[in-house]
Structure 1
Amino acid sequence: MQSGEGGWSTYRPSKTLWAWSIVGASALTMALGFTWGGWTTSGRARVMTDIAVRNAKADLVAGICVHNFVTAKDAQENLKALQAKSSWQRDDFITDGGWAKIAGIDGTITNAADACADQLVKMKELPQSGGDAAVTDS
């Protein structure tokens, strides 16, 4: 029998080769996991949580803001005035009108006035009294 006839069954890799194989497989697994596998670091997960909380607060306050706006007296005139404003002035109009102010919350909620103004501008007309504010696309 010649020295090369044993094939894979007789192959014995060195400890160095085993070590580098483990390092390479680990690096490849981590690279694939973080890019395509959906893995994330705890810091990134914390940032994503903070963004989700901020967006949820803004959506909640925007819904309350729409209700406050629609149920206020002179709502129709205020809606016309809001629609006449440019997009970058609308959040100031909502904030100055006090519709985005929630009792018990100091300060303003980030993006709440913008979301409220966006929902109101999409309305073609105000809902009838006693009904919920329905948002319609224009």
Structure 2
Amino acid sequence: MTFPEWTKPFLFGAAVGAIAISIVGFSWGGWITSGTAQTRAADMATEEVTLAMVPVCVDASATDPRRMGKLAVLQDLSGYERRNAMMDTGWATHPGTDKPDRFLAEACLAELDLDGS
């Protein structure tokens, strides 16, 4: 079977064009893979749930009878030690779970503003 003379340059040009469009699309066009989309969606969901739970954490701290002692301990600490101590207070635990959430602990600490800034 004989192909027309223009077939080889046409196929070569189409392949180079497809590669170029793919590079441009993923680099500047905003295209992403499904894996990246799922990762971003999961991260956004975690952030939104954490933000929604901050008032619950603050309310738990406000109704805790040992609040002042726990806040004094939190104020004495800094960095990851403060986050770990916040997790130990029980305020950063989602209702219905047994384990505290470190993202909620960090968000709750930011909301409580223990440094007074």
Above 0.5 in TM-score?
yes
Cα distance between partner residues in 1 of 2:13 and 2:102: 50
Match of 1:41 among 18, 28, 33: 33
Q: Which has the higher helix share?
A: 2
Question: Which letter does structure 2 place at the counterpart of 1:50?
Answer: A
Cα distance between partner residues in 2 of 1:89 and 1:121: 16
Provide the TM-score with structure 1 as the length reference: 0.69
Q: 1:104-137, CA deviations, whole angstroms, 9 ceiling, x for partnerless residues?
A: 124233411122122223573xxxxxxxxxxxxx
Aligned match of 2:80: 88
Q: Is the 8 A contact 2:75 2:115 kept in 1?
A: no
Provide the TM-score with structure 2 as the length reference: 0.79
Q: Is the 8 A contact 2:25 2:31 kept in 1?
A: yes
Structure 1: gaps spanning 5 or more residues: 1-12, 125-137
Cα distance between partner residues in 2 of 1:42 and 1:85: 42
Q: Is the 8 A contact 1:79 1:121 kept in 2?
A: no
Q: Is the 8 A contact 1:82 1:121 kept in 2?
A: no
Q: 1:46-75, CA deviations, whole angstroms, 9 ceiling, x for partnerless residues?
A: 111111122222222333212211333353
Cα distance between partner residues in 2 of 1:123 and 1:64: 21
User: How far has the Cα of 1:19 moved from its partner?
Assistant: 0.7
Larger CA deviation: 89-98 vs 56-65 = 56-65
Match of 1:21 among 13, 21, 26: 13
Matched, 1:115 2:107: yes
Q: Map 1:70-109 onto structure 2 (within 5 A).
A: 70-109=62-101
Identity within the alignment, %? 26
Q: Which runs of 4+ in 1 moved over 6 A?
A: none
Q: SS where residue 26 of structure 2 aligns?
A: helix
Q: Number of matched residues?
A: 113
Who wins on radius of gyration, i.e. which is larger? 1
